[in-house]
Amino acid sequence: MAPRSACVLVVDDEEDIREAVREAVEMIGATAITAANGADALELLRNQRPCLVVLDLIMPVMTGQEMLAAMRKDPMLATLRVLISTSAPSRAPSGVSVLPKPIDIERLWDWLRRSCRCGRARAQRVHHAGF
C-alpha cells in the first residue's frame, strides 16, 4: 500500500488514457489527480505536490514540453519527478524519463514503486486479478 501522501498527477488530453492511468495508479494504492492539458496541470500544482507527474507531450492549450519548461523555471516544481508518456519517445526532451505508449502497466507500476514507494504486494495481487 502506498503512503497516504503518495499522489500522482496524470496529464493527458485523451480521456481514456487519463482514466486508464488513473485507475492503474489507484490499483497500486496511490491517489491520482488528472488534468487534460499543461495549463490545467500547472494550476493543480499550485496546491498539490505529487510524487510523480505522468505527462503526455502532445496536448492542446499547453503541450507537455511547454509544461515541463514552466516547471523547470519554478523552484517549487523543478524537483518534481516527471515521466513522459508518449507514442513518439524520440520527441521527448533529453534528460527526462520516458514511458512509451501504449503504456505497459508493469513499467508504470515500477515507476510508482520507485517514485512514490508504492507497495509491490498490492501490485502483484492486482496483476494476478487480471488487470
C-alpha distances in angstroms, 76 versus 23, 48, 80, 95?
27, 11, 8, 19
**Average confidence (pLDDT) per 10 residues, the chain, 131 residues:** 70 97 92 97 95 95 95 95 90 87 93 76 41 40
Domain annotation for the chain: domains and CATH numbers: 7-120 (3.40.50.2300)
What is the pTM assigned to this prediction? Answer: 0.84
C-alpha cell at 119: 507497495
Q: Decide: 97 and 82 in contact? Cβ < 8 Å.
A: yes
Query: What is the reported pLDDT for 91?
Result: 83
Query: What is the reported pLDDT for 89?
Result: 84
